Amino acid sequence: MPEMMRAVVIARYAGALEMRRCPVPRPGPGEVLVHVHASGLCSTDLHLLSGRQPLGELPRIIGHELAGEVVGLGDGVTHWQPGDRVTAAIDVTCGQCRHCRTGETQRCPTMRRIGFEIDGGHADYVTVPAANLVSVPAEISDAAAAILPDAIACMYHSLINQGKVGIGQRVLILGVGGLGIHGVQIARSAGADVLATSRRPERLALAEHYGAVPIDTSRQSLETEAASFTEGEGVDLVVDNIGTRASVRQGLSVLRPGGNCWSSATSTRPSRFPPCASSRASWRSSAAAAARSRI
């Protein structure tokens, strides 16, 4: 095992990502050491670099989408062996509080996150709690496995666990970047009819390729297209991957009575619901909530 490794760190906010030589971490009790084979660069990393989301003590090794191979075991780890291919759930929680015991681990009061408050996967090696590991089968590549805990699990949780999407439902996905394009595929595989928005033709073409009806919001009216798509009824579910006040307002405006709006976007500004949207949300019994990724 080498003593030193390469790592990408944030040393100061509003600066640049830095490549540094850092000591290889040693796994503590209940932890494993993972040799990182793939680490996804997420747009959230740019928010971290800007300081919009504080990381605590700097410098910090970022990277919350990782896959690799177990190469070391801390005391008490018995269910993993060197050579196992793994990815890792992002949230490190206590496992003992009320929220953890009821499956709402994203609400754990002591939660820390890999690549945020804990050093992450933009490095040759990373230590991860054994409880966070997920086995990766041979048919899934390291690159594909790395994005499972974030871009895919977040959309799966929003659409399937929370949204209960199924056959014949009408789903609107606002924004088809890294999250949204997986949302299109998940919703379509569950049998839903899908609308997808963007202002970028290449993203709309990809969404259409995966079975969505594309809406170019730079030149098309979302309200008009949604009304036509649903014969005036409104959509069953909105998943907002944009997270602006305008997108929240737009999403609420096209919901059917009893529809739901879920936000999977990163936003540091509070959303403000205009009087018309607030009354419509109440009238339609809409539920706006944040869906965090869980595996």
Q: Please provide the average confidence, as pLDDT, over all residues in the chain.
A: 88
Catalytic residue of the set 47, 99, 244, 266: 47
User: Does residue 59 have a cis peptide bond before it, meaning omega lies within 30 degrees of 0?
Assistant: yes
For residue 267, the model assigns a pLDDT of: 59
For residue 284, the model assigns a pLDDT of: 33
Question: Is pLDDT of 158 > 90?
Answer: no
Question: Are 157 and 291 a contacting pair, CB within 8 Å?
Answer: yes
For residue 137, the model assigns a pLDDT of: 96
**What pLDDT, in 10s, does the model give residues 40-92?**
988 888 889 988 888 888 999 999 999 999 999 999 999 999 999 999 999 99
Whole-angstrom CA distances from 260 to 14, 257, 276 are: 36, 9, 17
Q: Which residues contact 204 (CB under 8 A, 6 or more apart)?
A: 176, 196, 198, 214, 215, 216
Give how far the C-alpha of residue 173 lies from the chain's centroid of Cα atoms, to the nearest Å.
Answer: 14
15: Cα within 13 Å, side-chain hemisphere: 12
Distance, CA of 235 to CA of 95 (rounded, Å): 37
Among 57-61, 148-152, 197-201, 276-280, name the one with the lowest average pLDDT. 276-280
* 268 carries an active-site annotation: no
All structural domains of the chain: 4-146 (3.90.180.10), 151-290 (3.40.50.720)
Catalytic residue of the set 35, 37, 44, 244: 44
Specify which residues 133 forms β-bridges with: 88
- The strand pair at 4-10 and 60-61 is best described as antiparallel
**What pLDDT, in 10s, does the model give residues 85-113?**
999 999 999 999 999 999 888 899 999 99
**What pLDDT, in 10s, does the model give residues 117-141?**
999 999 999 999 999 999 999 999 9
For residue 61, the model assigns a pLDDT of: 97
Q: What's the pLDDT band for 278 if we cut at 50, 70, 90? A: very low
pTM of the model as a whole: 0.83
* 47 carries an active-site annotation: yes
